[in-house]
Amino acid sequence: MVPETQLDTKTQLSIYRTMALLKANDERSRLVIKTGRIVMPYYSYRGQEVIPSALCANLRDDDYLCTIYRGIHDMLAKGLPLRALWAEIAGRVDGTCKGKGGPMHLTYPAKGIMVTTGIVGSSMPIANGLGWASQLAKDDRVSVAMFGDGASNIGAFHESLNMAAVWKLPVIFVCQNNRYGEHTRYERATSARQIADRAVGYSIPGLRVDGNDPLAMYAAAKTAVGRARAGEGPTLLECMTYRFHGHVYGDNDSYMDKAEKAEAIQADPHNRYRAQLLSAGVATETQLAEVEAIIEKEIDDAVNFALASPFPGMEEMTRDVYGALA
């Protein structure tokens, strides 16, 4: 583990920049849907920004990421360009998948973003496949599988952990435990006291970490990445966090515990980290405000770029689709 004090200023600020980008991008996404500028299914990650921001600060561009429908934060942290993101979620030709994937099926191999999946639990076996490829190619890349607490009850989770352990695959299984799977609370659907305990069944390290604390998250990720890169095998990280909104945009979230939700929003990890950086003298208010203003401009540019980009033509209907048509 890296003691907090050893995290240099540059890394602390870089993690903050990513967190601020993710927060602003989520807020803008909900605004464009609300105002009808873009129509899309949207799974807000607000509240969960720390996890990919701190984790990706330990990754290389050529490391692999497999994520889920609630994963735009993961992809932005891994380096997905804003213009390509916004054009894709708006269904335009300049998007990562020429507008044919939409917000739930983004890919961007140039930054190692290999798949976004809506099939709960399927990020894990795909990350194993990528991990196996790296192992065979001896390219010391690390593969990260992002998934939720609910996904840890799917068979593919258990099969993937077992296979990765047996073959010592360079995979990090990152569970973003936001306490809900769709509309069901963790305790109602999950037998394990904590998901990290499930690592014991596969004789791999399993760690529950405060996924809202950038320094703790950075340290846990550093250890897991180092282990994977050194050929020592997989790690399961259970990152404790909270989903600020309902499962999907438009969900009235009446099933969420109101007091608990209010408390989580009150303790917003973004605001807390920002205040910490100021009080520790890592940055000044002017510096952080400048970072935030630049981010807003970058998002303005990306939204305008996306809306000016054309929709794909009919000739794109069958192009790039797996399986040849006669």
Ligand X SMILES: Cc1ncc(C[n+]2csc(CCOP(=O)(O)OP(=O)(O)O)c2C)c(N)n1
Please give the residue ranges that form the binding site for ligand X (CB under 6 A): 70, 118-121, 147-151, 178, 180-182
In angstroms, the Cα distances linking 128 to 122, 157, 174, 234 are 10, 11, 13, 10
Taking the complex as a whole, the smallest distance from the CB of residue 177 to ligand X amounts, in Å, to: 8
Q: Closest distance between ligand X and the C-beta of residue 152, in Å?
A: 7
Q: What's the closest the beta carbon of residue 47 comes to ligand X, in angstroms?
A: 11
Closest to ligand X by CB, 245 vs 274, is 245
Whole-angstrom distance, CA of residue 307 vs CA of residue 288: 29
- Minimum CB separation of residue 54 from ligand X in Å reads 18
Q: Are 208 and 184 in contact (CB under 8 A)?
A: no
CB nearer ligand X, residue 12 or residue 128: 128
Residue 149 in contact with Mg ion, rule: CB under 5 A? yes
In sequence order, the β-bridge partners of residue 116 are 67
Residue with nearest beta carbon to Mg ion: 148
- How many CB atoms within 10 Å of residue 317? 11
User: Is the distance from CB of 15 to CB of 210 less than 8 angstroms?
Assistant: no
Min. distance of Cβ 122 from ligand X in angstroms? 7
Nearer Cβ to Mg ion, position 86 or 147?
147
Q: Residues with Cβ < 8 Å from 1, sequence gap 6 or more?
A: 219, 220, 222, 223
Closer residue to ligand X (CB): 71 or 206: 71
Q: Where do runs of H (alpha helix) occur along the chain?
A: 9-34, 50-56, 72-78, 82-89, 123-137, 155-166, 186-189, 214-229, 258-266, 269-279, 285-308
Residue 258: CB atoms within 10 A of its CB come to 9
Per CB under 5 A, which region of 26-34, 75-83, 144-152, 275-283 contacts Mg ion? Answer: 144-152
- Tell me whether residue 250 or residue 310 sits nearer to Mg ion (CB atom): 250
CB of 149 to Mg ion, least distance (A): 4
Binding flag, residue 148, Mg ion (CB under 5 A): yes
Query: Cβ closer to ligand X: 71 or 170?
Result: 71
In whole angstroms, give the CA distance from residue 309 to residue 38.
Answer: 13
Judged by beta carbon, residue 22 or residue 306, the one nearer Mg ion is 22
* From 143-151, 221-229, 265-273, 277-285, span contacting Mg ion (CB under 5 A): 143-151
Helix axes 9-34, 269-279, angle to 10 degrees: 150
131 touches which of ligand X, Mg ion, none (CB within 5 to 8 A by kind)?
Answer: none
**Minimal distance in Å, beta carbon 185 to Mg ion?**
10
Rg (CA), the chain: 19
> Please, what is the minimum distance in Å from the beta carbon of residue 47 to Mg ion?
11
| Partner interacting with residue 119 (select from ligand X, Mg ion, none; CB below 5-8 Å by kind) | ligand X
- Dihedral sign (CA 209, 120, 172, 201): positive
178 in contact with Mg ion (CB under 5 A): yes
Which CB atom, from 179 or from 274, has the smaller least distance to ligand X? Answer: 179
Per-residue CA distances from 268 to 113, 119, 147, 244 (Å): 27, 29, 21, 9
Residue numbers at the binding site for Mg ion (CB under 5 A): 148-149, 178, 180-181
